[in-house]
Amino acid sequence: MANKIKVGIVGGAGYTGGELVRILLNHPQVEIVFVHSKSNAGKFLYQVHKDLHGDTTMKFASALSQKIDVLFLCVGHGEASKFLTANAIDAKIKIIDLSQDFRLGETSGKRKFVYGLPELNRAQIKKAKNIANPGCFATTIQMGLLPLAKAGLLKEINTTGITGSTGAGQGLSDTAHFSWRANNVQAYKTLSHQHLAEIGQSFLKLDPSADIELNFVPWRGDFTRGIFISSQLSCSLSLNEVTTLFKKFYAGHPFIVVSQEPVFLKQVVNTNKCFIQLEKVGSKLVVHSIADNLLKGASGQAVQNMNLMFGLDETTGLKLKANYF
């Protein structure tokens, strides 16, 4: 495209904001116009995001500019809807929201949001003006279950998932301290995680008559980034049949890899990929799905959505290699 996409970022001081800047600085079709932060206005970006030292001399902005094509909202849950109520954003500016405020069909004035899971809603995303970016657990769980939902094979699923400390954001809490996280694992929000609603919404889209029960136990892990999900369910299909089902569903989706070998987090950390591994023992199927919670689970997927909205190849700026060692 002749003209670069002009981007604004609100909430640029957090983990997802920093990852978004890191990706977009190297995106061949993007110009970052401003990165907004109330608490860091006037500081260089690299004073907050130390990994950007030498990459940019941009400073955090205190004011918004309307001279942009797309606005990314990297604010906390509940804050995106407040921001859009308090700030008059030109109707021609597209919005990609990384909070959970608009994932269940909520609107902001006349703005309606498309649920931004490309492997489910690619066609709608291409036409969308506003995107509700999915949650990190929701993305990784859905990648492992959507093919089965479409085939009408889901009834009761027992899912366990572990996530890194970055999934909790940069806010200080007892469970975010190194001395608590190191050599430690804890279950939290058992059977009540906030991402369950958006997952159920996607299941119903693929299988409207289904009565699906998803029992999810999330864990806090003693590492910084990545999500590992294991979902267990009864399935009458053979492993070969299930593998064929998954490969057919994800054909043409460049970030999904159906692996014949055991998967591990280092394969996906620092990438926008999701790896899926299938195992079958007797009548039980186990689906392992792994992703980087800050990339495919947040900022990377947001850029993937932007690419689709502006008619670019969805992998543009996202061909990132994993940090293997």
pLDDT attached to residue 179: 83
pLDDT attached to residue 176: 76
Is residue 136 annotated as part of the catalytic site, yes or no?
Answer: yes
Has residue 1 got a pLDDT over 60? no
Query: What is the rounded average pLDDT for all residues in the chain?
Result: 95
Has residue 57 got a pLDDT over 60? yes
DSSP 266: G
The pLDDT tens digits for 114-160 are: 999 999 999 999 999 999 999 999 999 999 999 999 999 999 999 99
The pLDDT tens digits for 233-284 are: 999 999 999 999 999 999 999 999 999 999 999 999 999 999 999 999 999 9
* Radius of gyration for the alpha carbons in the chain, expressed in angstroms and rounded: 19
Q: Coil, strand, or helix at residue 325?
A: coil
Residues 30 and 219: their CA atoms lie apart, in Å, by 36
Among the listed residues 74, 136, 235, 274, the single catalytic one is 136
Lookup: tokens for 253: 């989706």
Residues 127 and 160: their CA atoms lie apart, in Å, by 35
Q: Supply the pTM of this predicted model.
A: 0.96
| 212-217: average pLDDT | 97
Domains of the chain by range and CATH? 5-133+298-309 (3.40.50.720), 136-291 (3.30.360.10)
Has residue 26 got a pLDDT over 60? yes
Has residue 169 got a pLDDT over 70? no
pLDDT attached to residue 170: 60
